[in-house]
Amino acid sequence: MKVLLASPRGFCAGVIMAIDSLDLAIKTLGTPIYVYHEIVHNKFVVESFRDRGAVFVDDLEEVPEGSNLLFSAHGISPQIRAQAKSRNLFAVDATCPLVTKVHLEAVRYAKEGRTIVLIGHEGHDEVIGTMGEAPESIVLVETPEDVDRLEVADPHHLAYLTQTTLSVDDANRVIKRLRERFPDIAAPPKDDICYATQNRQEAVRTLSAEVDIVLVVGSHNSSNSLRLAEIGHETGLPAHLIDGAADIDDTWFQGKETVLISAGASAPEVLVEECVDYLRERYGAQVEVRTIREEQVHFNLPKELRNLVDAQ
């Protein structure tokens, strides 16, 4: 067996910042520390922090007044921010800066009086946070068919935004239909789908031509991980989204000689290594790292944590 190990894969800069933020918050503030939603969408990461005293909540009413709180990487609405303040919570905002960019664009377009078409998945934490910035101005679509059914007050005064973790191909299909129906629609000055999502998708799409099967390490509630597995399927290959080596089924590899392994932006490298070790031990796999793009992006820790560290 030959294994192609896609690069880039795994943690992006936003996930690293969020995880480092929670790690430092536990060390400096102690536990329990409450986290609004999962810090990132990965089962292993969430359970690891839960074992260290992090308490993940979906409602701030679950957080005792005056407690320490961390907002996850996916962003929050102004209403949640105000609720945290009213409960006298010390809040650390670990929102990915690329999600914050989309929030700021939503506020700007709403102030211009535009109807904002948000391309994303209903119920996703990031979408809920973005829609909370301008709930009266935002409508959500997911498919070109949703665009066909869309009714707006002024078709000449629209803008679109996207969830940062979408499939580039899927988003482009929706954007194409939006531009066909609404030629005057305004676009964000820079693509909303984050660099890491695009790079990981490009790597899977490019390397799929050389393999017989695709393994994507990531959790099933991770939007960007799901998209990677979908890309594998779209190329005509069997593609499996797995949390780790324990999910591997040996029947997948019958008649398969070359395996592509990638990982979603919230999946730790240790889980990738476990899968590689399994294939080495079981099948004598030879591993080749294939780099499609170099990444050198870094995000600073939230100012609340930097101020704490500086004060010590």
Section 87-107 average pLDDT: 97
Q: Is residue 251 part of a domain?
A: yes
Q: What is the pLDDT of residues 55-72, one digit of tens each?
A: 999 999 999 999 999 999
End-to-end alpha carbon distance in the chain:
53
- Domain of 44, CATH number, reads 3.40.50.11270
Same domain, 124 and 165: yes
Q: Is residue 270 part of a domain?
A: yes
- Domain of 145, CATH number, reads 3.40.1010.20
Same domain, 214 and 280: yes
Q: What is the pLDDT of residues 216-272, one digit of tens each?
A: 999 999 999 999 999 999 999 999 999 999 999 999 999 999 999 999 999 999 999
Between the CA of residue 238 and those of 23, 119, 216, 258, 259, what are the distances in Å? 37, 28, 11, 12, 10
pTM metric for this prediction: 0.93
- The parent domain of residue 281 ranges over 2-11+195-291
Domain end, chosen from 150, 181, 212, is at 181
Q: Is residue 206 part of a domain?
A: yes
Q: Is residue 188 part of a domain?
A: no
In the predicted structure, residue 310 carries a pLDDT above the cut 80: no
Q: Is residue 217 part of a domain?
A: yes
What is the tally of structural domains in the chain? 3
Nearest partner of 70 among 38, 36, 46, judged by Cα: 36
Q: Is residue 190 part of a domain?
A: no
Instruction: Specify the DSSP class assigned to residue 255.
Output: T
Same domain, 108 and 171: yes
In the predicted structure, residue 311 carries a pLDDT above the cut 90: no
Please report the sign of the dihedral spanned by the C-alpha atoms of residue 218, residue 221, residue 222, residue 224: positive
Dmax over CA atoms of the chain, in Å, equals 62
Same domain, 201 and 162: no
Could you give the dihedral angle defined by the CA atoms of residues 292, 231, 40 and 103, in that order, rounded to the nearest 10 degrees? 90
Could you tell me where the DSSP H helices lie in the chain? 13-29, 43-51, 78-86, 97-111, 125-131, 144-148, 168-181, 195-207, 223-234, 269-283, 303-311
Coil/strand/helix, residue 298: coil
Section 149-176 average pLDDT: 95
126 catalytic residue (yes or no): yes
Instruction: Tell me which of 126, 234, 257, 269 is the catalytic residue.
Output: 126
Same domain, 172 and 248: no
